[in-house]
């Protein structure tokens, strides 16, 4: 049997070290250590609900090995809710105000995909927004209200297409 490994990284601004079996996914490592804001859906890379930001890039944590995030900076929805990042707060507010949450199952992953889009300078363009969230599945909303929320954030940041 392979020996457990230690993985050290920054999680929502705080340094953490977790001990895991070498084949453990990032998703399992996070959830096994009580980070339940990271949702588990298909666990096969299809649904996107497990999406987190790794060094600013959205990644599906179920198909990322824990060992790959050694030294990385990881942000989850908890980091956006309790952190001081204004964009994160704007996205979460917009999701609530635009009625973008029904069962809520896809929401953490959608919020993280939105965060990457806006952080990368994403504009208020529905087609571009749909592309940005194309790796995230929602079975309830028809996507319209989710796109509306991200559009609103981009618009509020003055990124309207003229």
Chain positions contacting ligand FES, by CB under 6 A: 40-43, 45-50, 60, 62, 101-106, 138-141
Triad 17, 22, 28: Cα angle to 5°: 65
> Is the CB of 47 or the CB of 111 nearer to ligand FES?
47
Contacts of 72 (CB under 8 A, 6+ apart): 9, 10, 54, 55
Closest CB 147 distance from ligand FES, rounded Å: 12
> Is the CB of 48 or the CB of 122 nearer to ligand FES?
48
Closest CB 88 distance from ligand FES, rounded Å: 19
Contacts of 149 (CB under 8 A, 6+ apart): 91, 94, 95, 97, 98, 100, 114
> Is the CB of 67 or the CB of 137 nearer to ligand FES?
137
> Is the CB of 89 or the CB of 139 nearer to ligand FES?
139
> Is the CB of 137 or the CB of 157 nearer to ligand FES?
137
Contacts of 75 (CB under 8 A, 6+ apart): 12, 52, 53, 83, 112, 115
d(CA 104, CA 102): 5
Closest CB 15 distance from ligand FES, rounded Å: 25
Closest CB 118 distance from ligand FES, rounded Å: 19
Closest CB 49 distance from ligand FES, rounded Å: 5
Beta strands in the chain (DSSP E): 5-11, 14-20, 51-54, 57-60, 73-75
């Amino acid at each position: 049997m392979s020996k457990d490994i230690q993985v050290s990284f920054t999680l929502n601004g705080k340094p953490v070290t977790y001990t895991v079996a070498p084949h453990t996914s990032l998703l399992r490592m996070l959830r096994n250590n009580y980070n339940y804001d990271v949702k588990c859906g298909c666990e096969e890379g299809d649904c996107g609900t497990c999406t987190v930001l790794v060094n600013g890039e959205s990644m599906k944590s179920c198909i990322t090995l824990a060992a790959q995030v050694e030294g990385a900076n990881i942000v989850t929805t908890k980091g956006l809710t309790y952190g001081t990042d204004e964009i994160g707060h704007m996205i979460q507010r917009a999701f609530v105000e635009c009625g973008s949450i029904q069962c809520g199952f896809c929401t953490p992953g959608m919020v993280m995909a939105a965060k990457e889009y806006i952080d990368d300078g994403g504009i208020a363009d529905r087609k571009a927004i749909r592309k940005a969230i194309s790796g995230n599945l929602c079975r309830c909303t028809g996507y319209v209200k989710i796109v509306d929320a991200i559009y609103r954030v981009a618009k509020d940041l003055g990124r309207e297409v003229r």
